[in-house]
Amino acid sequence: MALVIITASSPLVQNQTLVSSSQIFELGFFTPKGSAKQYIGIWYKKLTPSRVVWVANRDKPLGHTDQSASLIIGEDGNLKLLDGRQNTVWSPNVMAKSNYSEALLSDFGNFVLQDRNANIMWESFDEPTDTLLPNMKIGVNVKTGKKLNLTSWKGEDDPSFGSFVMGVTSEKPPQLFTWNGSSPYWRSGQWEKTKFIGIPTMTNTYYDIRQDNIQGTSYFYLNNYNNSIFGYTFISSEGSVKLAFWANGWLTSWKAPAPTNPCEIYGVCGPFGFCNPFGSPMCRCLKGFKPRSDEEWNRGNWTRGCLREMELNCQKPASAAASTTVEKDMFWQMRQIKLPDSADYLLIDNVEGCQSQCLENCSCLAFSYVNAIGCMAWSKDLLDTQQFSTDGEDLFIRLVDASVGADTGRFRKMTIPRLLRSEEPLRETSWKEQMKEDDASKLIVYDFDSIRLATDNFNVENKLGQGGFGPVYKGKLNNGKEIAAKRLSSSSGQGIAEFKNEILLISKLQHRNLVRLLGFCIEGEEKILVYEYLPNKSLDTFLFDSREKAKLSWGVRFHIIQGVARGLLYLHRDSCLRVIHRDLKVSNILLDEKMNPKISDFGLSRMFEGTQVLVNTHKVVGTFGYMSPEYAMGGIFSEKSDVYSFGVLLLEIISGKKNTSLDYPGQHLNLVAYAWHLWCEGRGLDLIDEAIADAFSVLEVTRCIQLGLLCTQDHAADRPNILAVVLMLNGESILSQPKQPTYTFSRLLAHEVQSQEGSIRSMNTITITTVEGR
């Protein structure tokens, strides 16, 4: 028998469970497989195999034969777990605010004790066990000393406190750690506002850290991506941190330390050593350092690390400085690095100042400047440093070098040998030759000076927009032709691979609804793509501007929707290649002088081969709010991934609102959820943008709303393919009824999400590994 609430008159007894309102989570008595003990716990109700996410009496189990145990509300208003002899085994021991209280289970898996006015007195989210659920937090409050950590089970059949603990540091920037007892076991690297820089394969779609320096708090959240609650992070009894989600079974999408990478074990190469998982041996000393013990090093025992070979110039005694000309120290640059632990954060907003500050302080051993963080310096041993094959940051290590002399304004830019599978340096000559070999010779290779002249030295007045990969400028060449030049920022997420991908891909694609690439420029550090100039810029400059959106009549909007669909049909079915765009969004739809849409930005696109239907990728890239669930959570993309993005775009065009806005009436979490709510109530037309509410086709708008909901179905199999989309848009095919998305379970879900602050909308990578249970 199931309860929906526990009260003083309605306790939870054996063979009963407490169920959340939407039947998602269940609380009750359970016995782990192979155990002879009973516990009160919470698990997913309908997912098989079941997964316990919280345990009350971890270290005070009940006997398996104790069939008289119960969970009650006592006379003092407290929750109490009683054994068969009516002894209290477990209780949160809160100070009751009234004589009446009740306990219920939310659809987020939060077990709550509240008074008659629904004021929360205690909640299980404040006492986590080994699992972090969406909208739950772990972290630390420095002022109160309170820590919310995950602690592993002792074993597969034993929920009692294990050896491994996962938590957040209070430093700036904060880091995730797991400890084995009191010893660090694994470290995430520093948080840079959207991701941990020490985890290049981890997507920022899922996580957020919120730090309040005034309150002294640092909290780590598992985001409720797409408002789906079927996912969690937990720490295993062996010390592995795992991110799992449900896709007809529990899939582990990320795991740390990775079993194939011994470099992820904290400090494996000791102080002033760095780890290269592809190296032999995997541990080496940093430049300017040598093994502390050659004998130990040769035996593969690296934990004592390395020591400096030569004393720094700044450390030489004053007597030596008086008798000789003391040279300045220099910095050795290492690229693609997991930065060491124990950084000091400095309030300096440029790399030059960061270098100067470190150089003037003799105790400063290294520094790094990360755009999203700022200046970090190290005065302690450089520990837990790792070489990455992609991503990572630049680390500048202080060394002695007499050849540098007094010139301290430049870095000595030396790069350690590149690793297996890393990208080759960008060389103009080799690139131009490769373009010819790859049949891109019809593109013009521009010299940098001609583009600089065309854009008036990239004058801000010529700036058309700012993308994630850099600014776009309007220009006019000497022959009078107008162009749009996308100048890739050196700090952008688009690397050489994406730059090359866009050039080679667009050069082979020609369609009226695709932007046309004219050529490119590669000179030194400059990487520039030159496109046809489209005078009306991008769709978002009209759609999300209250003053401009009226220019988009329903006729124009429907024309844009149809054009984008035709462009996708060409990419998916009709071109010489089968292409998945992977970043379809409003800002990537450009408009010509007649408001014809053109799909742009193919840097993240991928080609399909033959009859290939699904692809697994180790890099999930795109924009939060447009990514399909199976792609964002599992790295699986297909034509249906673009269809999902098209559905979001379609609803945005109808409503004139962003999917990721948080201001929808009725506590709806995003545009898709709001559209579904209106559709179910028969008020679909209320979605339409007020700017065009006086003149539109009821039939076309209704059809487009229904199609938008079909395209954004949770499961790819429930979405139409792009050919069906085109037929439905033209009224040549009957539309089926959309299914309810998982993110609209109840108002309670919306209420709990709104109680959390902020959101994350960005891009990164994720690694897909194996299918696993606990």
- 701 by DSSP, 3-state: which? helix
CA dihedral 641, 647, 653, 658 (to 10 degrees): -70
Helix axes 722-729, 554-569, angle to 10 degrees: 150
* Fold match flag (428-532 vs 544-740): no
By C-alpha distance, which of 758, 769, 689 is closest to 194? 758
Amino acid at 13: V
Q: What is the pLDDT of residue 613?
A: 47
CA dihedral 221, 226, 229, 235 (to 10 degrees): -40
Is the pLDDT assigned to residue 412 strictly greater than 70?
no
How far is residue 370's CA from residue 196's CA, in Å, rounded to a whole number?
Answer: 12
What integer is the mean pLDDT of 666-692?
84
Tell the residue number behind the tokens 């105790």, with chain if given.
363
Q: What is the pLDDT of residue 240?
A: 95
Tell the residue number behind the tokens 């890739």, with chain if given.
488
Is the pLDDT assigned to residue 764 strictly greater than 90?
no
Helix axes 428-437, 496-506, angle to 10 degrees: 30
H or E stretch including 650? helix 639-655
How far is residue 338's CA from residue 268's CA, in Å, rounded to a whole number?
Answer: 13
Q: How many CA atoms lie within 13 A of 472 on its CB side?
A: 22
Q: Counting Cβ atoms within 10 Å, is residue 459 exposed (0-12), middle (13-18) or buried (19+)?
A: exposed
- 652 by DSSP, 3-state: which? helix
pLDDT tens sequence across 19-47: 999 899 999 999 998 899 999 999 999 88
Q: What is the pLDDT of residue 377?
A: 97
Q: What is the pLDDT of residue 203?
A: 57
* 601 phi-psi bin (left φ>0, alpha ψ -120 to 50, beta other): left
- Pick from 227-231, 320-324, 328-332, 355-359: least confident: 320-324
**What is the average pLDDT value for the chain, to the nearest integer?**
82
Greater confidence (224 vs 271) lies with: 271
Is the pLDDT assigned to residue 484 strictly greater than 60?
yes
Question: In this structure, are residues 363 and 379 in contact, taking their beta carbons and an 8 Å threshold?
Answer: yes
What integer is the mean pLDDT of 243-253?
77
What integer is the mean pLDDT of 146-166?
96
Q: Residue ranges of the alpha helices (H) in 470-609?
A: 496-506, 540-543, 554-569
Contacts (Cβ under 8 Å, ≥6 apart) of 415: 333, 334, 335
**DSSP one-letter string for 302-369:** -TT-EEESS--GGGS-HHHHHHS-PPPPEEEEEEEEEPPSSPEEE---SHHHHHHHHHH-TT--EEEE
Active site (annotated) includes residue 642: no
Greater confidence (311 vs 526) lies with: 311
Q: How many CA atoms lie within 13 A of 211 on its CB side?
A: 17
In whole angstroms, how far apart are CA 634 and each of 195, 254, 621, 740? 18, 10, 12, 21
Question: In this structure, are residues 642 and 620 in contact, taking their beta carbons and an 8 Å threshold?
Answer: no
What integer is the mean pLDDT of 745-769?
30
Q: What is the CATH number of domain 544-740?
A: 1.10.510.10
Contacts (Cβ under 8 Å, ≥6 apart) of 589: 538, 539, 560, 564, 597, 598, 599, 600, 649
Count the neighbouring beta carbons within 10 Å of the beta carbon of residue 86: 11
Q: Counting Cβ atoms within 10 Å, is residue 424 exposed (0-12), middle (13-18) or buried (19+)?
A: exposed
Q: What is the pLDDT of residue 99?
A: 67
Greater confidence (105 vs 207) lies with: 105
How far is residue 78's CA from residue 697's CA, in Å, rounded to a whole number?
Answer: 59
User: Does the global pTM surpass 0.85?
Assistant: no
Q: What is the pLDDT of residue 380?
A: 95
Q: How confident is the model at residue 467 (pLDDT cuts 50, 70, 90)?
A: low
To the nearest whole percent, how much of the chain has pLDDT over 90? 44
Count the neighbouring beta carbons within 10 Å of the beta carbon of residue 587: 20
- Pick from 477-481, 571-575, 662-666: least confident: 662-666
Question: In this structure, are residues 726 and 697 in contact, taking their beta carbons and an 8 Å threshold?
Answer: no
Q: Are strands 273-275 and 385-387 parallel, antiparallel or unpaired?
A: parallel
What are the strands, taking DSSP E only, across 247-282?
250-256, 273-275
Q: What is the pLDDT of residue 633?
A: 66
- Pick from 185-199, 247-261, 432-446: least confident: 432-446
Q: How many CA atoms lie within 13 A of 490 on its CB side?
A: 9
Q: How confident is the model at residue 489 (pLDDT cuts 50, 70, 90)?
A: low
By C-alpha distance, which of 640, 615, 625, 659 is closest to 763? 625
In the structure encoding, which two tokens stand for residue 568, read together? 């996708």
How far from chain centre, in Å, is Cα 38? Answer: 38
Is the pLDDT assigned to residue 645 strictly greater than 50?
yes
**Domain chopping of the chain, boundaries:** 2-126, 131-259, 264-404, 428-532, 544-740
Dihedral of CA 568/570/572/575: which sign? negative
How far is residue 690's CA from residue 550's CA, in Å, rounded to a whole number?
Answer: 9
Tell the residue number behind the tokens 């028998």, with chain if given.
1
pLDDT tens sequence across 574-633: 776 778 888 889 988 999 988 999 998 776 666 554 444 444 444 555 676 787 887 666
Which fold would CATH assign to domain 2-126? Agglutinin, subunit A (2.90.10)
In the structure encoding, which two tokens stand for residue 127, read together? 């006492």
∠ CA 546-551-556 to the nearest 5 degrees?
125
Q: What is the pLDDT of residue 363?
A: 95
Is the pLDDT assigned to residue 443 strictly greater than 80?
no
What integer is the mean pLDDT of 424-443?
47
Contacts (Cβ under 8 Å, ≥6 apart) of 433: none
Domain 428-532 is of which CATH architecture?
A: 2-Layer Sandwich (3.30)
Is the pLDDT assigned to residue 185 strictly greater than 80?
yes
Is the pLDDT assigned to residue 356 strictly greater than 90?
yes
What integer is the mean pLDDT of 361-366?
96
Q: Per the residue annotation, which of 107, 384, 391, 583 is the catalytic one? A: 583
How far is residue 78's CA from residue 94's CA, in Å, rounded to a whole number?
Answer: 6
Q: Counting Cβ atoms within 10 Å, is residue 42 exposed (0-12), middle (13-18) or buried (19+)?
A: buried
Question: In this structure, are residues 82 and 67 in contact, taking their beta carbons and an 8 Å threshold?
Answer: no
By C-alpha distance, which of 104, 92, 82 is closest to 25? 104
Q: What is the pLDDT of residue 408?
A: 32
Question: In this structure, are residues 27 and 40 in contact, taking their beta carbons and an 8 Å threshold?
Answer: yes
Dihedral of CA 438/444/446/451: which sign? negative
How far is residue 488's CA from residue 67's CA, in Å, rounded to a whole number?
Answer: 68
Is the pLDDT assigned to residue 433 strictly greater than 70?
no
Question: In this structure, are residues 206 and 198 in contact, taking their beta carbons and an 8 Å threshold?
Answer: no
In whole angstroms, how far apart are CA 695 and each of 82, 87, 652? 66, 71, 18
How far is residue 277's CA from residue 421's CA, in Å, rounded to a whole number?
Answer: 12
Is the pLDDT assigned to residue 309 strictly greater than 80?
yes
Q: Are strands 517-523 and 444-445 parallel, antiparallel or unpaired?
A: parallel
Q: Counting Cβ atoms within 10 Å, is residue 327 exposed (0-12), middle (13-18) or buried (19+)?
A: middle
How far is residue 750's CA from residue 152's CA, in Å, rounded to a whole number?
Answer: 30
H or E stretch including 433? helix 428-437
